[in-house]
Amino acid sequence: MSSPVDKPDRNLVLRAAAEEVLSCGSSSETDAQCMLHELQVHQIELQMQNEALRSTQNELEASRESYVNLYEFAPVGYITLSLQGEIEKLNLTLATWLDLERDSLIGRDFSRLLVPEDKHSWLSFITRFGENSHKARIELGLHRCDGTVIQVRLDCVFQQGSLQVAVTDVTARKQADTDLLIALNEKTALLKEVHHRVKNNLQLVSSLLNLEAQRNFDDAVSSVLSDMKGRIHSMALLHEMLYQTDVFAGVDLGDYITKLAVQVFRVNSPSASAVSLEVDVVSLPLDISQALPCGLVVNELLLNSLKHGFPVGEKGVPKGVVRLELVLLDGLAHLAVSDNGVGLAAGFKLSEQASLGLILVSDLARQLGGRLHIETGLSPSFKVIFPPKGIQLQS
């Protein structure tokens, strides 16, 4: 088959040859047959070219129809806007979403379709968007013909002097976000109320213990009631802190035990000047399942130091200091209480102690997944070492 470049020349040559044969009546039969053969070959060649052109045309029509269908009936809307925000073109999907005739939207200012509260955002967006912009995204609300609103996301690209925009319906997602926020607010309010009621109930129990303590009991019973009040106060303080925040999974342990230590000293310290409190703690966001046991540990150890480290009337004891520490070492939390009091008795063994407080501390250490370490000497220290369950607190 001849190439497209030489087809006109070939046609001219064949025509000239045919005219020459016809004008020369004396041409031989052989010449006529050769010319006829050439013409027949050329006729077949033209038929084949026509078939190829028809096939290419059919393919182009099919491709165009596929493109049109893809554009018109895509699951997202497509719209072309001028840099002034006028609608130049849009697909049937978007027109159907808006429940408007497509022709009525051509040439219309796009901002007229927006809900009033989004018009300023759109004008600022379209002003910033120019030829130097590559891609940009914005979410807006569009009015439908029946007055309802659909929430859409616009993905914009500057191309050929206009904005090519893909429009995605995000109404369902927006509604889900709203429903989730409402549910979260309801949950927050409920949890706040739960912690508030627990705190109030614990305070009620503490008040009942106060009333009971006013009866004439011996020192042992009074001491037990006082210890119970301290434990209740440590739990009530945790619920009060949870009530005052929007994070209910836990608290900052450093902040919690500092407030708790101040509270314990205010209630149980022998006098304002006899024993002082030193606090050296780090910030440690901690899960509530560990924060409560830690609070009880601090309460018991502080009470233990105040009761037994500085006995009334003891001579030769310097100004009392109780030290509360919280540090992180190699991923483990070290929670310690020490004092400069009279120290532990010679041969002290935890297993031989009948004190409910120290037994409780040992049990709480195991509950935390850690252990209780006791250092004897001039400045005895009770230290609970455990792996913390951290949480993310809001800033």
The percentage of residues in the chain with a pLDDT greater than 90, rounded to a whole number, is 27
Q: How confident is the model at residue 344 (pLDDT cuts 50, 70, 90)?
A: confident
* pLDDT of 233: 78
Architecture of the domain made up of 250-395: 2-Layer Sandwich (3.30)
Q: Give CATH for domain 77-169.
A: 3.30.450.20
Q: Is the pLDDT of residue 202 over 90?
A: no
Reported pTM: 0.55
- Give tens-digit pLDDT for 41-56: 777 777 777 877 887 7
Question: Averaged over 363-383, what is the pLDDT?
Answer: 87
Please indicate whether residue 376 or residue 294 has the higher confidence score (pLDDT): 294
Instruction: Kindly give the interhelix angle for 288-304 and 253-268, rounded to the nearest 10 degrees.
Output: 30
Rounded Cα–Cα distance for residues 48 and 54 (Å): 10
What is the band of 79 on the pLDDT scale with cuts at 50, 70, 90? very high
Extract the tokens encoding 126: 């379209």
* 267-297 pLDDT, tens digit each: 776 655 678 899 999 999 988 889 888 988 9
Element (H, E) at 191: helix 171-213
CA gap 74, 233 in Å, rounded: 64
pLDDT per position as a tens digit, 322-340? 999 999 999 999 999 998 8
pLDDT score for 59: 72
User: Minimal CA–CA distance to 311: which of 280, 345, 336?
Assistant: 345
Rounded CA separation 360/376 (Å)? 19
* pLDDT attached to residue 386: 95
Average pLDDT over the chain, rounded to whole?
80
